[in-house]
Amino acid sequence: MRQKTQEKKMAKIHWYWPLVAASLAIRIVLIFCFTDDLNLASVPEVTTPLTSLRRLAEGYWLKQASMSPYSGSMYHGSPLLLPILGPLTVNRVDGLPTHIFYSLIFVIVDLITAMLIRATGRRLLVKYFQNMQLLNLENANQGKLDTGDLASLVFLWNPLTIITCVGSSTSPVDNLMVVLAIYGACSRIVPLAAFGWVMATHLSLYPAILIVPVILLLGYGLDAPPPKLFLLKNSNADESGTSKHVNEHKVTSQTGTAQLFSWKPIIYFVLWTSIWSCYVLFLSVITLKGFNGLSEMLRKTHGFILTVEDLSPNIGLLWYFFAEVFDFFRSFFLIVFHLNILFMILPLVIRLNHRPCFLAFVFMALASMLKSYPSVGDSALYLGLLGLFANELAEMRFPFFLFCGYVGVSLLSPVMHNLWIWRGTGNANFYFATGLGYACLQTVLIVESVSTMLNHDRKLRKQLSHHKIQ
């Protein structure tokens, strides 16, 4: 009965499933009709040395020739992708170009990712309604969007997601593992959360920072207003003659906020993480049997990410910087750039520990901005996760500016790359300027979203204080 009442308060998105089907149909049409014309596999904004299927084809060919897939300088991805996607990189299968087969696989991967985002949004929305009811702010629930449906549609209809799906990139698999970890933590399905986190870290390293929001989700539960708001509401009730002890027990048992931290799922998570890590390493050893094994794999995958060996142009900032810096200072700046992400973790956790799912979005946006080999697939992921918090971020400033900025960078970046590489009428500064603008846009998005979320919490506090005065 309560769930039906909550559904009535939500602004439902009509024609949800037809919109989902239309987004998948667009992908299929592009795959069958325009893949060769678009040639997205050679676009540096879409594919990177870590996610390119052309490089995976090279690694698969080397393995088939009884050589290590890492013996060349091309492949730097996971060895576990070789037996799964490698057979689809041969010229033709059953008379059809193989890009059709692996692109259709990525269409299914995108659909699964969107459904996991939708399920996560539903859980967050139910928790939001429960928190507002506990704070006696039921009026705040009126007209709220169904953020699960919205976020999944934002993910599916995002042009960046579509071109990543069609563009011969393994980024959809990386995004699926990240969302799997977040969904498993939100649902408190510990084996699933551990599997998603281990695989996401194994594939692209940077999702390792998600360990913090995952632990907070398992220990504290889903996002909630700051605990002091419940204590403030409790003090209001105490002034009205209600027993303070009873109210504190009610707040603690129903909110699952900082009053109680459950260590049991954390212990299970550590156990399952160890199991999945050993299993992944064991499969990697089997895949690389007869070659240099794990040492070469770690050096050519995670080591390749950390040392930034490939300075081919991409949408990020590091390739240009390390192409210009003196070799004498290279190691120092490598440490500075990689620690830059870690330095931001503690302040954000201290300020947003009551909203771990939102914290996961912020961490993914930071990683997308500062990672060695970024692509638009990273932006597709965090922009989809951003839709989960549409209700809390409804008053965010500069949304139109950010929208126009992303559109502008998406259009200018391939133009500047073409002027520099193919036409010879530009230079590296032209292309790097779009990457710099892209980083600035992401910075504005992160700062504004965090600021708006904190303002939302302050607004709830003011509403509680207004109730107290009344």
For 21-25, 134-138, 416-420, 459-463, which range has the lowest pLDDT when averaged over its residues? 134-138
Q: How far apart are CA 451 and CA 211, in angstroms?
A: 23
Of 36-45, 215-224, 241-250, give the range with the top mean pLDDT: 215-224
> What global pTM score does this model have?
0.90
Closest CA to 387 of 131, 56, 150, 98: 150
Q: Is pLDDT above 90 for 3?
A: no
Per-residue pLDDT reduced to its tens digit, 51-86: 988 888 888 888 888 888 888 778 898 899 988 888
Q: How far apart are CA 217 and CA 328, in angstroms?
A: 43
Residues near 459 by beta carbon (within 8 Å), at least 6 away in sequence: none
Of 68-77, 423-432, 439-448, give the range with the top mean pLDDT: 439-448
Q: How far apart are CA 71 and CA 398, in angstroms?
A: 48
Per-residue pLDDT reduced to its tens digit, 377-401: 999 999 999 999 988 888 888 889 9
Q: Give the C-alpha distances (Å, rounded to integers) separating 98 from 74, 161, 162, 194.
A: 20, 21, 19, 33
Q: Is pLDDT above 90 for 130?
A: no
Q: Give the C-alpha distances (Å, rounded to integers) separating 118 from 4, 51, 114, 463.
A: 18, 26, 6, 30
- Residues pairing with 52 in the sheet: 169
Amino acid at 49: P
Q: How many CA atoms lie within 13 A of 24 on its CB side?
A: 19
Across the range 197-215, mean pLDDT stands at 94
Q: How far apart are CA 257 and CA 225, in angstroms?
A: 8
Q: Could you state, in order of their start, the residue ranges of all structural domains in the chain?
A: 2-469
What is the model's pLDDT at position 129?
85
CB 322 within 8 A of CB 176: no
Residues near 458 by beta carbon (within 8 Å), at least 6 away in sequence: none
Helix segments in 356-427, DSSP class H: 356-370, 376-386, 399-418
More confident of the two residues 159 and 128: 159
Q: What percent of the chain has pLDDT over 70?
A: 85
Neighbour count for residue 372 (Cβ, 10 Å): 26
Rounded (to 5) percent helix, strand, coil in the chain: 75, 0, 25
Q: Is pLDDT above 70 for 8?
A: no
Of 97-106, 136-145, 205-214, 241-250, give the range with the top mean pLDDT: 205-214
Per-residue pLDDT reduced to its tens digit, 228-281: 877 766 665 555 554 444 444 444 444 434 457 888 999 999 999 999 999 999
Neighbour count for residue 278 (Cβ, 10 Å): 11
Closest CA to 375 of 111, 160, 157: 160
Amino acid at 213: P
Q: Is 205 left (phi over 0), alpha (psi -120 to 50) or beta?
A: left
What is the model's pLDDT at position 13?
72
* pLDDT band, residue 223 (cuts 50/70/90): confident
More confident of the two residues 371 and 9: 371
What is the model's pLDDT at position 427?
83
- For residue 442, how far is the Cα from the chain centroid? 14
The DSSP secondary-structure symbol of 92 reads: E
**Tokens at 85, concatenated:** 């996607």
Per-residue pLDDT reduced to its tens digit, 300-328: 999 999 999 888 899 988 999 898 888 88
Q: What percent of the chain has pLDDT over 90?
A: 43
CB 121 within 8 A of CB 152: yes
Across the range 187-204, mean pLDDT stands at 94
What is the model's pLDDT at position 259?
52
Q: How far apart are CA 70 and CA 92, in angstroms?
A: 24
Q: Is pLDDT above 70 for 331?
A: yes
What is the model's pLDDT at position 140?
57
Closest CA to 214 of 190, 237, 245, 235: 190
What is the model's pLDDT at position 36?
65
Average pLDDT over all residues of the chain: 84
What is the model's pLDDT at position 253?
42
Q: Is pLDDT above 70 for 125?
A: yes
Helix segments in 167-226, DSSP class H: 171-186, 190-204, 211-220
Per-residue pLDDT reduced to its tens digit, 147-170: 889 999 999 999 999 999 888 789
Element (H, E) at 69: none
- For residue 358, how far is the Cα from the chain centroid? 11
Across the range 99-116, mean pLDDT stands at 86
Element (H, E) at 25: helix 16-33
More confident of the two residues 28 and 32: 28
Task: Output the furthest CA–CA distance in the chain (Å, rounded).
Answer: 80
